[in-house]
Amino acid sequence: MRHEISILIIGLLAVLTTASIVATILSARAPKPLSSTLVNLTQRINAWWVMVALMTVAFFFGRYGMTILFALISFAALREFVTLTHTRRSDHWVLLGMFGIIIPFQYWLVWTAWYGLFVIFIPVYCFLLMPAITALHGDTERFLERIAAQQWAVMISVYCVSHVPALLTLDVPGFEGRTLLLIAFLIIVVQGSDVLQYIFGKLFGKHRFSPNVSPSKTWEGLIGGLVSASLLGALLSFVTPFSPLQAAGVAFVACSMGFLGGLVASAIKRDQGVKDWGHLIEGHGGMMDRTDSLVFAAPVFFHIVRYFWTV
Amino acid sequence: MNKLSLKTFTLLQTVTSVGLSALARMVTGVRPIWNGSLPSERQRIYFANHTSHGDFILLSACLSERERAITHAVAAGEYWGKSRLRRFIAQDMLSSVLINRQWTRPEENPIEIMLSVLDQGHSLILFPEGTRNMTDEPLLAFRSGLYNLSTARPEVELIPCWIENMSRVLPKGQFLPVPLLCRVVFGAPVAVGPGEERRAFLERAHAALLALNPRPERDD
């Protein structure tokens, strides 16, 4: 596995270095003051250096590192989500429970590989008990809206995100002890697809995909991004249990889900009248701005691998 | 106070302020938005909306360490002076200035106490509503302290600061904070105009603070 990890890290460093060099040249040639797109590009690339460094460190701590890292990502994402929704004073205990009980317990289930409870804890127990607690408080003002927002917040930020470290619990014959590479594959392909969609969109984007939801998403960006991300998946098949063709197919499905995740996140932001979820990551916005695609891709990727590749 | 214990107290206050600011950032990711003024070490009175005990911690977390060291929150003596423990927390750990709203003796005069802090070159954090706002109103009417301080020390800048979301993080009667993102919006300085009446000024300062609320429709 060391061999594959070294190749991935060298590859990522090469891509980031190239990106930084290109951005520096573009900025040096461009008229001053720099356009906001160029400033934002540099910020984004710098943030990518930090994110890749953090991921790499977490990687070297293996299961510990991944479980803790994604629990923290869930925390940051949930905080952004709940901040945007309508909450009332009587929601206090439910909100505390979301942060203080649901996140730790869900990641404990990931840690202990208790699959049976991991898949139903949130959609069965939390989804039934959270509205019950809210009802017990006796405050019915905008009740359905409040409980729906709470459930969707937990679904997106905790349940979906926790499927990334849960990949480590899968038992793929002939792939023992290498499941960390599944996480690397998923993240590189999905985040790569975001970047490729951005590049194709900026270079060739003409036809808007859904002007009402997200003005920055174009058909050219979508098609160019999905095709090139699927190719990237095929290229990376050497770190996975998949054949190159299978890897391209899995990458295509994951990145399509990722695109839909970005679309849904944009719709929520638009509905709430904000541009970004937060300000955690310079140039990108909040944690949810960076993970919206991963959130939709992770559970589907998890279940594809589980259904077709595990015993 | 002898030299040694003075040192201990300074250390205690520094540790408390660094620790609380770090905690506030971890829980709320608090971020200052400078919308009309800039960070500065010049003498100021920061006046803010008040909904939670966490308010001044959030506000001071937005200041630089040096500013924080010379900025004191003004707190109610009736509440924070009640027991030795409360007094220790408020005065020794948080270095707040305690004032009594129902004062009788001349040395208890709140304005005199606040002026004496200003005269040491320090800055103040003031909640001109006078109490935590538990109503549905976004901002209660101001008490006159702000006007009195400003007319007595016109060289001190008055900076309005809107603290967002803190009432949701730590609602009334709760002691465990829910982690939600908070921002503090710092507005342009407000000053008493030549010959301006007390009531007119207080209403203007009130409006200036209210205008900073970035998401007025969200208040409930």
- For A132-142, the pLDDT digits (tens) are 999 999 999 99
Q: Cα(A249)–Cα(A188) distance, rounded to whole angstroms?
A: 15
Q: Cα(B88)–Cα(B94) distance, rounded to whole angstroms?
A: 9
Residues in A closer than 8 angstroms to B174, CB to CB, are: 92
Distances (CA, A) of A92 to A137, A265, A272, B20: 10, 25, 21, 22
User: Residue holding tokens 């898949």?
Assistant: A119
- Picking from A92, A94, A101, A271 by the largest number of B CB atoms within 10 A of its own CB, the best residue to mutate is A92
- Note the pLDDT of residue A224: 96
A99 touches chain B (CB under 8 A): yes
User: Average pLDDT of chain A?
Assistant: 94
Give the least confident one: A217-221, A302-306, B28-32, B173-177.
B173-177
Asked if residues B20 and B93 have their Cβ atoms less than 8 Å apart, the reply is no
For residue B151, the distance in angstroms to the closest alpha carbon of chain A comes to: 39
Q: Cα(A138)–Cα(A6) distance, rounded to whole angstroms?
A: 57
- Picking from B181, B184, B219 by the largest number of A CB atoms within 10 A of its own CB, the best residue to mutate is B181
- Note the pLDDT of residue B198: 94
Terminal alpha carbon distance of chain B: 47
* Among the partner residues A79, A88, A273, nearest to B180 by beta-carbon distance: A79
| Phi, psi of A85, rounded to the nearest 5 degrees | -90, 165
CA–centroid distance for A19 within its chain: 21
- Note the pLDDT of residue B137: 86
Percent of chain A residues topping a pLDDT of 70: 100
Residue B103, pLDDT above cutoff 50: yes
- Note the pLDDT of residue B136: 80
- Note the pLDDT of residue B219: 46
User: Average pLDDT of chain B?
Assistant: 89
Supply B147's token pair.
């006007």
Q: Which domain holds residue B127?
A: 3-210
Question: Can you give the length of chain B in residues?
Answer: 220
User: CATH number, domain at B113?
Assistant: 3.40.1130.10
Asked if residues A232 and A188 have their Cβ atoms less than 8 Å apart, the reply is yes
In whole angstroms, how large is the CA radius of gyration of chain A?
A: 20
* Among the partner residues A83, A87, A95, nearest to B181 by beta-carbon distance: A83
Give the least confident one: A204-213, A224-233, B59-68, B208-217.
B208-217
| Residues A76-99, mean pLDDT to the nearest whole number | 94
Residue type, A282: E
Question: CA nearest B70: which of B43, B50, B90, B49?
Answer: B43
Please indicate, yes or no, if residue B220 is contained in any of the structural domains.
no
- Note the pLDDT of residue B11: 85
Q: Which residues of chain A form beta strands (DSSP E)?
A: 208-210, 214-218
Residue B220, pLDDT above cutoff 50: no
Residue A83, pLDDT above cutoff 70: yes
Residue B217, pLDDT above cutoff 70: no
Run of H or E including B109:
none
Interchain proximity A280–B29, CB inside 8 Å: yes
Question: Can you give the length of chain A in residues?
Answer: 311
Residue B190, pLDDT above cutoff 90: yes
Question: CA nearest A159: which of A118, A125, A112?
Answer: A118
Supply A219's token pair.
């058909």
Please indicate, yes or no, if residue B64 is contained in any of the structural domains.
yes
Residues in A closer than 8 angstroms to B168, CB to CB, are: 87
- Note the pLDDT of residue B101: 81
What is the secondary structure of B161-199 as a DSSP string? Answer: EEEPSHHHHS-TT--SPP----EEEE---B-PPTT--HH
Considering only alpha carbons, which residue of chain A is nearest residue B214? A274
Q: Which residues of B49-154 form beta strands (DSSP E)?
A: 71-76, 97-99, 123-126
Question: CA nearest B96: which of B110, B80, B118, B108?
Answer: B80
Percent of chain A residues topping a pLDDT of 90: 83
* Among the partner residues A80, A89, A273, nearest to B181 by beta-carbon distance: A80
Run of H or E including A225:
helix A219-235
Tell me the three-class secondary structure of A81-136, residue by residue. HHHHCCCCHHHHHHHHHHHHHHHHHHHHHHHHCCHHHHHHHHHHHHHHHHHHHHHH
Q: Cα(A173)–Cα(A125) distance, rounded to whole angstroms?
A: 32
Question: CA nearest B78: which of B66, B65, B90, B61?
Answer: B90
Grade residue A157 by pLDDT with cuts at 50, 70 and 90: very high
* pLDDT digit string, tens, across residues A114-126: 999 999 999 999 9
The count of structural domains within chain B is 1
User: Beta strand B44-48 with A214-218: parallel, antiparallel or unpaired?
Assistant: unpaired
A30 touches chain B (CB under 8 A): no
Distances (CA, A) of B41 to A134, B130, B184: 46, 26, 18
What CA dihedral angle connects A170, A175, A180 and A184, to 10 degrees?
-110
Residue A146, pLDDT above cutoff 80: yes
The SS3 assignment for B158 reads strand
Supply B49's token pair.
């909306």
* pLDDT digit string, tens, across residues A10-33: 999 999 999 999 999 999 998 888
| Residues B130-157, mean pLDDT to the nearest whole number | 91
Interchain proximity A79–B176, CB inside 8 Å: no
Q: Which residues make Cβ contacts (< 8 Å) with residue A17, sequence separation at least 6?
A: none
Distances (CA, A) of A200 to A191, A210, A222, B86: 14, 16, 8, 61
Q: What is the ipTM of this complex?
A: 0.83
